[in-house]
Structure 1
Amino acid sequence: MIFFKQIRKIVFGLFLILLNIAVHAQKYEINSIQISGNEKTKEQIILRKIPFSAGDSLSINYLENEIINIKQRLELLGLFNFVDISYSTNNQNNIDLNIELIERWYLWIYPILEVGDLNFDTYISNKKFDRINYGLSLEKHNFQGKNQLIKIKLRLGFKEQYSLSYFNEASNINPKLGYFVGTDFFRMKESIIASKNFEPVYYSKNEENPYIFRHINAYTGLSYKLNLSTRIKSKFAYNQYSSNIEYEGFGDNNFRFFELSGKFENDKRTNKYFPVSGHLLSFEIAKLGLIKYTNYYSVNQLILDLNFDFYQKLGQKFFYSTQSNFVYHYNSEEHTNFWLYRSIGYNNYLRGLDNLIINTEAHALARNSIRYNIFERKRSEVKLTGLKQFDVFYFTIYANAFCDIAFTKPHGLIMGAGAGIDLVTYYDRTLSFYYAYNNLNQNFNIFVQYKSPFIKYY
């Protein structure tokens, strides 16, 4: 009797498994796609991120997997603070898909007050407290509800910048085709013009016209969406540099060039600014110098730039990430101007070497991190402003350990390692504190990095 009872249990269990498989494999028809919370955003912007439409037939398995992908794609737009997706079925094998959104605030007019040095640590250690940038920035996100962006910046102080740009992810002619256009003017009275023992060298002049550096940049470009996560892009730009610098080895003060570049990009990250899973693959070829000038130094440079970022959840609390970058410069001229290097430093730094600038002919680097989620508040509401764009927020704290490595030509192996804390909150703001060591000056230091979203058209 016991034997037969066991057989019945096994048969019944197999029946339930087969029934579950049959239910999930069964085709259902999408009856409706209901979207709520998009007070500004046009519905077509959201529907473009959904690979099916009303009337299509699909399985529950496919739908549940695709809901995860749709949520990630909508979050990557940067238009919403929160995205919730659910579905319901009925006896007629119909599915109703429900998408609930909380939009972000789209018009930002804010004062600029920032350090002009490489970062906060160099600002404190250099004790040049007049290296401050200040001004005003206007950003209109989601212009016309079509995920278009207009930016106007007026920045004075240490590094002056006057800029205007426009970006449209999907044109009216073809929703797969996007485009961007913009111009920048920079000028400085004091600037980094070289690196000595990897330390930045600052240069200034006490003259009637104190500006030693000017840069005009005008650009336009196109992007074409191959699928929901893959784009190809192209950019055409004009650059004009003029400076008044007398420093050994600096090279020509005045030069201009046209630039043409192409880029392939596959982005499957959960978030553009602080992802915890997914990957980003991009490859760029850039040609600097399309025309030879008789009265100016002729730039003739080829740049290959490959990036692969990988993010993986290791468990309920642990996360692993590696951000890798390979850059190769080919220059037919004897000298590469300091401004034209894609250096290790600035925004492409190794932790522990935040204050250094390393110009290379070629480099391959990897930033490796293991993070532990100490605290996470997925959604909280505080009724301060009466606006859900600000009153509903999230907050996460991670502890991290890292080891960043670069192989460079001609400097060899470079490494930074340490541990720290990352604080991440809504509107993709990140504040990081870490204690790190590097093998160049063999020092331990405390570093502070604050990052706000920087939207890249290209």
Structure 2
Amino acid sequence: MRKELLKLYLLLLVAFVGGTVAFGQTEKGNRKQTAKQDTLDSRLIQVHKIFILGNEKTKDYIITRELRLQEGEYVPAGSLDELVETSRNNVYNTNLFYSVTIDQLELDSATVDLLIKVEERWYIWPSPVFRLADRNFNDWWYNRDHDPSRVKYGLKLDVYNFRGRKESLRFIGLTGFEKRLIFQYSIPYIDKSQKHGLTFGGGYLNNKKLPYMTTDHFTVFTDSTTAEEINREATSGYIVYTYRPSFYNYHYLMLQGYSMNISDTIAALNPNYFGEGTTSQQVLGLSYSFSQDKRNNKNYPLTGHKTLA
């Protein structure tokens, strides 16, 4: 009886020791595999060359400005895919391209080339402008007897990626009830570091028929006897300095001003138009704003955030 109990004890002891050894070997093997993976992820990969295809108009440096990787740079292997994907999103968010892909071309275990393929958008967009002078369609149709002379119409022209440098031009010309001209020219980068930019803009308008007061919630305009002279004339202008120190942070400093003059007729009809019968008004303003945009896609964001201040 004692011999049988001793045998059973020995069998259990062998089984326990064997299981412990096997478990120790498995755990040791897992640690080796993890260490091996960590070693592979931490090894450095060199970005040898960056090739760009499809940018028939866009300058190369506009694209490389958005990349998290540069030629000759060494990056951890475990971070390469994430950096490539972030770079692709940054290039796409310039809104210059319909599509952007970045392929990794492995030269050897420690060197890759990057191939960026883009499809450029159509950059010239003319469009007609048709606006009512009144508050809304019902006001124009019922209160103004749908008078066709109370319509502003003209042309808007947007030119994006002007000269292939991500510059933009805008021109708006209106005639009819109101004469208006608007112009804007934006230069995102004026220096080699591509951190500083400028935007210029201005406008001009004049009116013959002009709303000069509101009575019983009804806007009162000058009548036909006073509508042959220019009753309001205004000019405006602005300059915006842009500072982009990193990929996602933007600082804006704007200096703007305008000058407006009204006729003596308007000042007589409503002395409070500018106050105390004044016929001119000038304003000069300075403003600052900040934006941080970390959305993965500016048009259809799925992740990230945008901060305005």
> Under a length normalisation based on structure 2, what TM-score does the superposition of the two structures give?
0.75
Alignment partner, residue 265 of structure 1: 291
- How far has the Cα of 1:60 moved from its partner? 2.8
2:253: which partner in 1?
234
Cα distance 1:101–1:212, how it changes in 2: closer, same or farther (>3 A)?
same
- 1:47 pairs with 2:64: yes
Distance 2:49 2:88 in 1: 17
208-217 or 251-260, larger mean C-alpha shift = 208-217
Aligned to 1:321: none
- Corresponding residue of 2:106: 89
Shift, 1:147, TM fit: 0.8
Tell me, in whole angstroms, the C-alpha distance in 1 between the residues paired with 2:231 and 2:181.
Answer: 17
Determine helix, strand or coil for the equivalent of 1:227. coil
C-alpha displacement of 1:156: 2.8
* 1:40 alignment partner AA: K
Question: Does the alignment pair 1:223 with 2:223?
Answer: no
1:266 positional shift: 2.2
Partner SS for 1:54: coil
Task: Say how many residue pairs are matched.
Answer: 277
Larger radius of gyration: 2
User: Aligned letter for 1:82?
Assistant: S
Q: Which amino acid aligns with 2:48?
A: N
Aligned to 1:150: 169
1:254 equivalent among 277, 280, 283: 280
Q: Report Cα offsets for 1:333-363 as digits up to 9, x if no partner.
A: xxxxxxxxxxxxxxxxxxxxxxxxxxxxxxx
In 2: Cα distance, 1:270 partner to 1:157 partner: 44
1:164 is matched with which residue: 159, 178, 183?
Answer: 183
Select the residue among 96, 99, 102 that pairs with 2:119: 102
Tell me if 1:123 matches 2:137: yes
Tell me the secondary structure at the aligned position of residue 278 of structure 1.
coil
- Give the partner amino acid of 1:150: L
Distance of 1:163 and 1:220 partners within structure 2: 14
Q: Does 1:112 align with 2:126?
A: no
Contact 1:204 1:212 in 2 (8 A): no
8 Å Cα contact 1:72/1:269 also seen in 2: no
Q: Aligned-pair distance for 1:104? A: 0.7
Separation in 2 of the partners of 1:160 and 1:272? 35
Conserved in 2, the CA contact under 8 Å of 1:191 and 1:213?
A: no
Encode CA deviations 1:101-160: one digit per residue, 9 max, x unaligned.
111111222322355667xxx435764655644211222211111111122211234554
1:22 is the counterpart of 2:39: yes
- The equivalent position to 2:308 in structure 1, one of 282, 292, 299, is 282
Do the aligned partners of 2:252 and 2:289 also contact (CA within 8 Å) in 1? yes
CA apart distance, 1:13: 4.5
Please, which of 20, 27, 34 is the counterpart of residue 51 of structure 2?
A: 34
Residue by residue over 1:420-457, the C-alpha shift from the partner in whole angstroms, topping out at 9 and shown as x without a partner, is xxxxxxxxxxxxxxxxxxxxxxxxxxxxxxxxxxxxxx
Q: More strand by proportion, 1 or 2?
A: 1
- Answer yes or no: is 1:140 the counterpart of 2:159: yes
Secondary structure of 2:244's partner? strand
Which residue does 2:8 correspond to in 1? none
Show the 5 A alignment for 1:58-457. 58-114=75-131, 122-123=136-137, 127=141, 130=148, 132-157=151-176, 160-172=179-191, 175-188=194-207, 189=209, 202-206=219-223, 207-209=226-228, 213-243=232-262, 244=266, 246=269, 251-252=274-275, 254-272=280-298, 275-283=301-309
Q: Percent identity?
A: 20
CA shift for structure 1 position 72: 2.8
Relative contact order (alpha carbons < 8 A, sep ≥ 6): 1 or 2 greater? 2
Answer whether contact 2:67 2:91 (CA < 8 A) is retained: no
| Equivalent residue number for residue 57 of structure 1 | 74
Gaps of 5+ in 2: 1-17
* RMSD, aligned α-carbons: 3.3
Unaligned segments of structure 1, at least 5 residues: 284-458
